[in-house]
Amino acid sequence: MPQIKPTALRFYGSSNVRVTGISIINSPQCHLKFDSCQGVMVHNLTISSPENSPNTDGIHLQNSKDVSIHHTDLACGDDCISIQTGCSDVNIHNVNCGPGHGISIGGLGRYNTKACVSNITVRDVNMFKTMTGVRIKTWQGGSGLVQGIRFSNIHMSEVQTPIMIDQFYCDKTSCTNQSSAVAVSGVQYENIRGTFTFKPAHFACSDSSPCSEITLTGIQLRPLTVPQYHICSSPFCWQAFGELYTPTIPPISCLQLGKPAGNRVLSDHDQC
């Protein structure tokens, strides 16, 4: 009964919080959660639970600002770090993630809600045997804006899909098709290298609200050719616009250069 499973440690409406030097092991659900907090510092933390334990996010952020997470080891059955609506000015660095689902922004916009996330930096991170690496995921039908995101100096080892934007996120068998979406703009990928076991990059963006200003620099992702892995070595793009600053391995030629027609991403509906 996941709805009644407790979070191991939760801070709500708190300011100037420091969590350091502790271990959280086998939480029934999320290990560490910050909701409506400001001025958060997490470092020298260890989180550990089995990779098949459902909904055991490592660190969950929601409606929180001025957050720093560094020098931390995260192993869990869901997102190592989950960044939800209302978060801004989040700096994550020198983190080890795996197993788990990677570091994720979202899912955002569920139940046709408005979601706003901005100024997120994830750098100097190691991912090991995670489902995704760095991911942005939004539900159909939402509104709002994800902007000012930087993923830099990230090493991937046996990661299924290292780079992902999914504006059709659905954790059920099927979800209703809806035209509106949380807009995604200004996402930088720099020096992301290592091995993947399924697909190097997946950009699935909305027809009505395409992803814009995606930039890629120093991307080198190679398939790990092990018999048990079904590899799709070609990146996938749909309604994704941006620029390749350097050649990528493998080539991400499906990214559309420039900006989407009509600059839909900057409409008043999406402004936060």
Residues classed as catalytic: 78, 101
Q: How many CB atoms lie within 10 A of CB 252?
A: 24
Question: CA 272, CA 53: separation in Å to the nearest integer?
Answer: 35
Residue from 38, 35, 41, 36 nearest 9 by CA: 35
Residues 6+ apart with CB under 8 A from 227: none
For residue 1, the 8-state DSSP code is: -
Q: How many CB atoms lie within 10 A of CB 208?
A: 15
Question: CA 126, CA 5: separation in Å to the nearest integer?
Answer: 29
Question: CA 137, CA 184: separation in Å to the nearest integer?
Answer: 10
Is residue 91 classed as helix, strand or coil in its secondary structure?
strand
For residue 96, the 8-state DSSP code is: E
Question: CA 58, CA 48: separation in Å to the nearest integer?
Answer: 8
